[in-house]
Amino acid sequence: MNTVPDMSIWHLISNASLIVQLVMLALVTASIWSWTIIFQRRSLYANARTRADKFDEAFWAGGDLNTLYDHVSRNSNLQGQESIFRAGFKEFLRLREKGADGDAVMQGVTRALRIALTQEQMRLEHSLSFLASVGSTSPYVGLFGTVWGIMTSFIGLAKVQQATLAVVAPGIAEALIATAMGLFAAIPAVLAYNRYASSSEALLTRYETFADEFSSILHREAHSRQ
């Protein structure tokens, strides 16, 4: 009497070949790390939009820039427009105290704003490349595990005298689990990357627009005092 093979997921994984198990482990690790990045990026972008709205309200309220600068400088965790504003206005005050002319002041301010924008871009786009890599490579890694598992199954099949579905099915099933894991890791990573890349681009556009408008304000201020 033929016994029915155990086809549970855990049994198939535990009895898979070492190469297939390593592939599965790599995919599970990549998936866990991807979800960690997804939740972390979600919180970061939501917080960045909230802080940008609050700063816009304070900046365009028409108050004194020195007062706003003192208030912003007291915050040790600057980011977004706050960081850009502080970098630009700090350089503006430093050069003006040295008696630099308007053009020299604006050259320094433009350089400071550009550096601050670059730092914000790096902060917003951090870890997105990992999501892109997981989304693009995980299906192929899973497919490699599947091909290896099927190859191993057929090699084992050649050693038995009677080939039946009960003999072939476990090996094929455990191999296909690797493909399923690859897709499970890739799909959320691709969706998250597309969404967060769009969010990052929108925030950077907002920061660049603010930097241009702030630079125009400082330009008028620098040349009006010459």
Encode the chain in three state secondary structure.
CCCCCCCCHHHHHHCCCHHHHHHHHHHHHHHHHHHHHHHHHHHHHHHHHHHHHHHHHHHCCCCCHHHHHHHHHCCCCCCCHHHHHHHHHHHHHHHHHCCCCHHHHHHHHHHHHHHHHHHHHHHHHCCHHHHHHHHHHHHHHHHHHHHHHHHHHHHHHCCCCCCCHHHHHHHHHHHHHHHHHHHHHHHHHHHHHHHHHHHHHHHHHHHHHHHHHHHHHHHHHHHHCC
- Using alpha carbons, select from 213, 214, 212, 222 the residue that is nearest to residue 103: 222
What distance in Å separates the CA atoms of residue 105 and residue 112, rounded to the nearest whole number? 11
Cα 29 off chain centre by: 17
Give me the pLDDT at residue 1, please.
43
Task: Read off φ and ψ for residue 61, nearest 5 degrees.
Answer: -75, -10
Is 211 contained in some domain?
A: yes
Domain contains 131? yes
Is 157 inside a domain boundary?
yes
Per-residue pLDDT at 164: 63
pLDDT, position 168: 66
1: in domain: no
Range of the domain at 212: 19-53+65-224
- Apex 192 CA angle, 188 and 196, nearest 5: 175
84 touches 113 (CB < 8 A): yes
Q: Is residue 73 part of a domain?
A: yes
Q: Domain for residue 195, yes or no?
A: yes
pTM over 0.75: yes
Tokens 């790390």 sit on residue:
33
Residues of the chain with pLDDT below 50 are 1
Overall domain count for the chain: 1
| Assigned domain for 5 exists | no
